[in-house]
Structure 1
Amino acid sequence: MSGPVLARRGFLASAAGLAAALTLAACGGESTTTGTAAPTASGPAAQAWTFIDDRGKKIDQPKAPSRIVAQVGAAAALWDFGVRPIAVFGPHKLQDGTKDPQVGNVDIAKVEGLGNVWDEFNVEKYISLQPDLLVSSMYIKGTLWYVPERSKSTIEQVAPTAGVMLTGRSATQVISKYEELATSLGASMEGVAEAKARMEAATEELAQFKNLKILMMSGGADAMWVVNPPEYPDIVHLMNAGLDVVKPAKVDEGGFFQTLSWENADEYDADVILYDTRTQSLKPEEMLKKPTFAKLPAVKAGQLYPWNAEAPYSYQGYAAFLEGLVANLKKAKELP
């Protein structure tokens, strides 16, 4: 389970070679990226640019950044607001070459890829792109998601970085922060108003399912993880809208989830189970091979539905996520 597992995992701590990096920067020529710069209006681009990120870090630039590199979740959010990063890092391409769902609407044919898995970040390519800004979400304050600890000092000297906090917030708060950043960058905001209305309408519909007990989980080869609602912006949003989501009685160190063996998959009662759809999580057909899980009332009733655990933090991303959830919950019923 990428988010919570890695968020509590100790990061690798070897220092990057700054001298070599700076040499590369000095020798770097024109970027070969096929991405397009973030759209900036004449006003923001012509004026000094200031942004305060969720670390409380104030970033001052002579003009609004246009050459933006972003972690895939941040890139997906910014893309929907009209900002076009030139490169991304984190899971964006599946083994068959198609897009990873985590990258949202980003056209991966038009951006450079700096890394596709955990602890993979091509520092040399990053330097050659001559970025103005790096943007990433944060599960832990001060730790930019998918920025390797061993390369952090080099990466942060190449260009300013901005972090958007996820943990302990609602989705609307996270979306608002990305909207603030995108607005400051002169984003087009095309389709945003319509998507916001869709998201609000779908959110209102969730109240009709308040009598359903919902378990949200992710599956691994040897364990299942029951997520801890307060740590996830999307689940906070769902609970604020009226859904009754199981909160594990005993969470693991780090607070993101409770680990259960598959033999103990029946620890909590639920009418509906929402499963993590990310590529690193088990698919339903794989989880159904676990006898205890297969016998759960919700599973036997066919009330096992997908959970897009990293929906883009944009109004478009959440409108689609919530509309799909509403459609599935309309098929569910309370179980004896």
Structure 2
Amino acid sequence: MSDATDTVDATDTGGARVWAFRDDRGTGLTAAHRPTRVLAYVRAGAALLDLGVRPVAVYGSGHDGEALDPVKAGGLAAAGVPYLGPGRTLTHARVAEAGEVDLVVDVTYDGKSAYALDEGLAERLGVPLVALSVGNELPLAAIVARFGELAGSLGAAGAATGPVGDAEAALRAAAGRTGLRVLALSGAGPEQVYLARPQAWPELARLAELGVRFVDPGPGPGANWLTTDWAYAVGLAPGLVLFDSRANAAPPHVVPPGARLTPWNPETPPSPAAFTRFFQDLTAALEDPSV
């Protein structure tokens, strides 16, 4: 876990200014100067862009193809940030096409390793690799705050602030008024669907704290998802379905009778702006029968 004292510029024993940051693997990282040219995993890069740090390029995960998934992209495409393809396929030469890089930013789900990039590539590039947690060992507010701390260490002003509180208040009120039962899922084709276990996802756990009534998928294997068929999902009789809208997920094959549908990005950028938009969209879906 991080130590906040390691997230700002420090001074070495010779009096020179250096950049220092402790990531969520517990790895203390340093550089002779504050990094300005960041290569990032798409989710991390979209968050940093929201927070005032523009990456020089981004890469995808093993679920991504050679084109940037617009659902995961946030404002990256509009900002002209190049996408280099899946992280595990990147080479030193491919990264060099984006120019010089002095920091890599990834995410971690297990607190031990970077999710989307071969850590050896960062070593070959000769630059620090920051991996910030997006798993359920941290609450959503702490995850967002950590990205704010990193952005602040990279020179972004006011990076950790945002209007999420107002959006949360509106969502809490809507959840209380409607009382809809909500099921979050990811389509795997006509025969199979993955049902999210709400406490395994920080944003869903936060929604539950705000009063959203999630449907429990029930017992079975899988820490994050219960793998089942569409008939089982329909039988849970949700009033609202949050469906995984990423390019690697299949669209809902069957809609439970009377249920509303609204998209959910399980890789929402961990920034106040991105979660404000998600909470606002969910509030509208809870309140508007036409959604």
* TM-score bracket relative to the smaller structure: 0.7 to 0.9
Q: Percent identity of the aligned residues?
A: 26
Separation in structure 2 between the aligned mates of residue 187 and residue 127 of structure 1, nearest angstrom:
25
Match of 2:25 among 55, 69, 74: 55
Q: What is the CA-CA distance between 1:109 and the residue it aligns to?
A: 6.5
Residue in structure 1 matched with residue 227 of structure 2 by the alignment: 259
Q: What is the CA-CA distance between 1:308 and the residue it aligns to?
A: 2.6
Residue in structure 2 matched with residue 326 of structure 1 by the alignment: 283
Query: Aligned ranges for residues 173-184 of structure 1 at < 5 Å?
Result: 173-184=142-153
Q: Which amino acid aligns with 2:146?
A: K
Separation in structure 2 between the aligned mates of residue 263 and residue 240 of structure 1, nearest angstrom:
29
Q: Which amino acid aligns with 2:106?
A: S
Residue in structure 1 matched with residue 269 of structure 2 by the alignment: 312
Q: Which amino acid aligns with 2:134?
A: L
Q: What is the CA-CA distance between 1:124 and the residue it aligns to?
A: 2.2
Higher strand fraction (1 or 2): 2
Aligned pairs, how many? 269
Separation in structure 2 between the aligned mates of residue 265 and residue 321 of structure 1, nearest angstrom:
23
Q: What is the CA-CA distance between 1:243 and the residue it aligns to?
A: 1.2
Q: Which amino acid aligns with 2:192?
A: A
Separation in structure 2 between the aligned mates of residue 79 and residue 156 of structure 1, nearest angstrom:
24
Q: Which has the larger radius of gyration?
A: 1
Q: What is the CA-CA distance between 1:153 and the residue it aligns to?
A: 2.1
Q: 1:256 to 1:97 in 2, by over 3 A?
A: closer
Q: What is the CA-CA distance between 1:65 and the residue it aligns to?
A: 0.8
Higher helix fraction (1 or 2): 1
Cα pair 1:81 1:182 within 8 Å, conserved: yes
Give the structure-1-normalised TM-score. 0.72
Residue in structure 1 matched with residue 236 of structure 2 by the alignment: 268
Q: What is the CA-CA distance between 1:106 and the residue it aligns to?
A: 1.5
Q: Secondary structure at 1:140's aligned position in 2?
A: coil
Q: 1:154 to 1:97 in 2, by over 3 A?
A: closer
Q: 1:272 to 1:302 in 2, by over 3 A?
A: closer
Q: Deviations over 1:119-151 (max 9, x none)?
A: 432332225633211101112222212114xxx
Separation in structure 2 between the aligned mates of residue 180 and residue 48 of structure 1, nearest angstrom:
16
Q: Which runs of 5+ in 2 are unaligned?
A: 1-8
Q: Deviations over 1:82-123 (max 9, x none)?
A: 1011111017xx9997761212111466333321x4743233
Q: Deviations over 1:188-216 (max 9, x none)?
A: 448x75xx22x211111222314222111
Q: What is the CA-CA distance between 1:303 and the residue it aligns to?
A: 1.4
Q: Which amino acid aligns with 2:132?
A: V
Match of 1:213 among 162, 178, 181: 181
Q: What is the CA-CA distance between 1:187 and the residue it aligns to?
A: 1.1
Separation in structure 2 between the aligned mates of residue 107 and residue 321 of structure 1, nearest angstrom:
19
Match of 1:113 among 63, 74, 83: 83
Q: Alignment RMSD, CA only? A: 2.8
Q: What is the CA-CA distance between 1:306 and the residue it aligns to?
A: 1.7
Separation in structure 2 between the aligned mates of residue 97 and residue 109 of structure 1, nearest angstrom:
16
Q: Deviations over 1:242-268 (max 9, x none)?
A: 212123222434x11100023433352
Q: Secondary structure at 1:266's aligned position in 2?
A: helix
Q: Secondary structure at 1:259's aligned position in 2?
A: strand
Q: Deviations over 1:285-323 (max 9, x none)?
A: xx1xxxxx34x2xxx324122223222111111111111
